[in-house]
Structure 1
């Protein structure tokens, strides 16, 4: 029996579903099918064609003939935020829900959200999500957002604190909210930037009166090539900074009692961000604008003073990172035994650079817990690497991540090679993602093994009877079959390999 929330006058509320559309002709039908098939029927579905250059405009129009609840808005390309703003302005519903047009929803998503609104007198309902591949296959994922098993009822302040501490992810497709929250507070997404969800999610949470989180995975987030968020870049760093500044500005103005809380959380954020920019710049020759780096460091200095002045205690992990940053420049520019790789003791170029590199690299100080090897050339591979890195990060492990280390267009193949090999030698251990048996990863395993650096393998979904090349199997100390398997080992030291074959 379908459970539909009711307005005070007994009417069934209208839910506006806003779907920005751009360059997703392969996935659009699956997305819209999930929406028109919702068990909650009182919907208006707004397909906002953001000047898509493929068949999406015609596909959107075709859907209007199939379901009268669908409206199409054609507009010039302006980006995700602009498309969302246009859809929001045209929406007439009592509740608002945003969907990304390459993703898939469970058919009872709206029903469960509206029933929860009714049962708990809430005006914002959040739910869990999982990830799928380009072809729709389930992917293993581990998000803090999903780490709860019971219904959670929260005040706006409680939910804001959870979001700032990354216990609630900043995705607008992960919740349904009352339209009045948007309409009564001049809400809009920031146009021309990435990380727009994090910049605005607390504006919505803060204007609700009750937030409820339900332990049901109702949304399937597709990991694919060509998605909006990309690899690390300085522009992305600036967008992160602007997003977190926007978030802090709203929270402190709306809830002044959270001022000290936000100072501490901002310090934790900027310390982590600045450490990564320094590492990218010095270790990997990443192009960092000195003015950007200086602004971030000045923010850290100011926030450190603010936190100390408020009498708040800096978490041990953050203080450790602050201490590490103070040593970073001296350690990272220190030459190995007085000689740079590829240069002889007399300062002349080495005539046998390969042999000289090996000797110089082997003397590197161990600054990272793990060198994280693995392929990152398509969305499925990136998703798998993110799951692996997430486990290490949440267990306090420092990492050298080659996928962020070098831009081949800037440093060339030789520079990429040097950066990665230096990274291996600067790590206490290597953990290698065996997905797709990437040849570069195989080299990294062999190189680390030859230097006596411990190597661990990670292969999601490994089962009894599967096969692993004997040269790899004999080089590694353990093969973890999932993120949970690795997490258990890091927490307890316990692990048992699957009964795989070696060939």
Structure 2
């Protein structure tokens, strides 16, 4: 395998010293040895940069790039520009990968432009133990882009489309199209990159097995912190997906239904965000933003999907239909108080 195609594995690193050794070692121990590991230190202040240099001295396949803190998109773009491999793989600095992941993805790439695999979602418990949830991708085989998009609605809610870390990309596709991560977007940039990449694919190979270990610290979730423009960012992202599906004749039937159900659930996250403990909004401004979301044309077009959702979605859907700003404000205020009382002291806000 060492004489095969070179795989550039790009890892943006920012204050990840606690997890970084496990991440790097899982990459260097791959059964597929013909890799270059590009560590982009994004202005870390916890010793992560020094750790990167230690590994570069130990293994000639490791390259380290230091930059001022500019965010993961800039770091990934920097890694893409520095990569010399035939294929590109992305790994987050607090995650690890299966010993055979790169080999499995390279084997599956034959004739395709993109390979997607399953993953494990790990959560650290109070006692230090990790709880894992396995997400397997079905169907698992080589598919034309049209065949793959028929299953988009099933794959999308489980984040098989969203992230870069469960995929292998052809460097030539990225280079020829001039694809980069949008540095103006601070959340969801992976999804936009993947949509642009998939648009340029003829064949996509899906691998059922979970080969990536994603550590869910909740830090990157939409409810982990207050986001001033969350609703508008979500609207932009879902609008981009919707237009992508329409362009590719895949916005119909089950695809449309499952995607729009997901969008309805995201609208609830937009309301919930206003009541995050870190929100600087007073009651008047919260109600003003609630009214703005309620009046949004896209929200109204999703009302049918609220009616087929869970209890929370159905109830909020009724409030939107009635334009009951005060009632929805009271509902989320009480939910916030209830959640605060139930959460152990020091635990982060989790939706």
Does the alignment reach a TM-score above 0.5? yes
Cα 1:420–1:83 change in 2 (3 A) is closer
Q: Does 1:44 align with 2:36?
A: yes
Cα 1:324–1:29 change in 2 (3 A) is same
Report how far residue 245 of structure 1 moved.
Answer: 2.8
What residue is the counterpart of 2:237 in the other structure? 243
Question: What is the alpha-carbon distance in structure 2 between the residues aligned to residue 298 and residue 230 of structure 1?
Answer: 21
Report how far residue 160 of structure 1 moved.
Answer: 4.0
Q: Does 1:182 align with 2:174?
A: yes
- Select which of 212, 217, 220 maps to 1:219: 212
Question: What is the alpha-carbon distance in structure 2 between the residues aligned to residue 67 and residue 282 of structure 1?
Answer: 48
Question: What is the alpha-carbon distance in structure 2 between the residues aligned to residue 293 and residue 270 of structure 1?
Answer: 18
* CA RMSD between the two structures: 4.0
What residue is the counterpart of 1:159 in the other structure? 148
What residue is the counterpart of 2:68 in the other structure? 76
Question: What is the alpha-carbon distance in structure 2 between the residues aligned to residue 283 and residue 64 of structure 1?
Answer: 41
Contact 1:270 1:300 in 2 (8 A): no
What residue is the counterpart of 1:494 in the other structure? none
Secondary structure in structure 2 of the residue aligned to 1:273: helix
**Larger relative CO (CA 8 A, sep 6+): 1 or 2?**
2
Q: Does 1:204 align with 2:197?
A: yes
- Mapping of 1:17-416 within 5 angstroms? 17-118=9-110, 121-133=111-123, 137-141=129-133, 143=135, 146=136, 148=138, 151-160=140-149, 162-164=151-153, 165-167=156-158, 168-191=160-183, 192-224=185-217, 231=224, 233-235=226-228, 236-252=230-246, 254-255=247-248, 257-258=249-250, 267-278=260-271, 287=281, 288=286, 290=288, 294=292, 297-300=295-298, 303=301, 317=308, 322-323=317-318, 325-327=320-322, 329=324, 332=327, 405-406=335-336, 416=337
Q: TM-score, normalised by structure 1?
A: 0.56
Contact 1:105 1:219 in 2 (8 A): yes
Question: What is the alpha-carbon distance in structure 1 between the residues aligned to residue 245 and residue 305 of structure 2?
Answer: 21
Secondary structure in structure 1 of the residue aligned to 2:177: coil
Question: What is the alpha-carbon distance in structure 2 between the residues aligned to residue 62 and residue 330 of structure 1?
Answer: 56
Question: What is the alpha-carbon distance in structure 2 between the residues aligned to residue 244 and residue 96 of structure 1?
Answer: 26
What residue is the counterpart of 1:427 in the other structure? none
Cα 1:91–1:314 change in 2 (3 A) is same
Q: Does 1:14 align with 2:3?
A: no
Which ranges in structure 1 are unaligned for 5 or more consecutive residues? 5-10, 306-312, 336-366, 368-399, 407-415, 422-431, 442-503
Question: What is the alpha-carbon distance in structure 2 between the residues aligned to residue 334 and residue 237 of structure 1?
Answer: 16
Cα 1:177–1:279 change in 2 (3 A) is closer
Larger radius of gyration: 1
